[in-house]
């Protein structure tokens, strides 16, 4: 499996504040059969450290070097980019990281109120040759199902969290996530793991395989991330 949304890189956001916690999370991923992990620290989110693109790269290289001394795992870098009024300017100035240097960026929408102009945001990203993956699309309570459907007129991909599929985040999100998979809207599943959260990615895989098909589980957890993010 590939875990495409994690907060394992230490010291850069609210995911892990110690190297030991990050090692524990790596061990849990490996125990579940995850061999490829994309590290996606929060950026542009209020209250998080404000580091430069180069600083994230430096943290990643140092962490990867240490981890691969003891663990057989493939690590890749991205960011979970919180929506910001100046996000297009940040992208134009090449200040943000895509996933593994591909055109794909993981975008976190605001949690409490909608963006004023989704059309402008999606169009501007497309003009800049960026491809948007909306992180945990099921969690934005203000979006109607019609909104979720309408965004697909753009080349937008949807990621849902594993704990929404397993029911850990409640019956409502589980029901919504199942509906989205049934309707063919979901492209990727990630754990969104933090040191303080249980990683249930393997259970989510089993849930999709049982309730839909093994082929669908492989598509969401293995084939799509490998294909999209240039993972061998």
pLDDT tens per residue across span 48-82: 889 999 999 999 999 999 999 999 999 999 999 99
Mean per-residue pLDDT, 202-224: 98
pLDDT digits over 18-48, tens only?
999 999 999 999 999 999 999 999 999 998 8
Whether the predicted model's global pTM rises above the 0.85 cut? yes
Alpha helix segments (H runs only) across the chain: 19-31, 53-67, 87-92, 118-127, 145-151, 162-166, 171-182, 201-211, 214-218, 224-228
CA dist 53 and 90 (Å) reads 11
Closest by CA to 42, choosing from 149, 174, 135, is 135
Range of the domain at 134: 2-228
CATH of the domain at 164: 3.20.20.140
Residue 181 has phi, psi (to 5 degrees) of: -65, -45
Structural domains counted in the chain: 1
Residue 226 reports pLDDT greater than 90: yes
């Amino acid at each position: 499996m590939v875990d495409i949304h994690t907060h394992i890189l230490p010291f850069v956001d609210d995911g892990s504040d110690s190297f030991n916690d990050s090692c524990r999370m790596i061990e849990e991923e490996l125990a579940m059969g995850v061999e490829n992990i994309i590290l996606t620290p929060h950026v542009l989110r209020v209250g998080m450290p404000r580091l430069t693109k180069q600083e994230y790269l430096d943290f990643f290289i140092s962490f990867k070097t240490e981890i691969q001394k003891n663990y057989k795992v493939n690590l890749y870098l991205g960011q979970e980019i919180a929506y910001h009024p100046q996000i297009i300017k940040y992208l134009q100035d090449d200040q943000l990281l895509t996933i593994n240097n591909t055109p794909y960026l993981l975008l976190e929408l605001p949690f409490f109120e909608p963006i004023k102009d989704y059309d402008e945001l999606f169009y501007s990203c497309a003009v800049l040759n960026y491809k948007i993956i909306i992180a945990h699309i099921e969690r934005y309570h203000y979006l109607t199902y019609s909104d979720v459907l309408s965004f697909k007129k753009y080349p937008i991909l949807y990621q849902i969290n594993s704990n929404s599929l397993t029911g850990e985040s409640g019956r409502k999100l589980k029901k919504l996530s199942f509906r989205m998979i049934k309707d063919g809207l979901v492209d990727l599943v990630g754990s969104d793991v933090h040191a303080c959260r249980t990683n249930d990615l393997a259970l989510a895989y089993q849930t999709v395989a049982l309730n839909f098909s093994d082929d669908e589980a492989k598509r969401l957890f293995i084939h799509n991330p490998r294909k999209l993010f240039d993972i061998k």
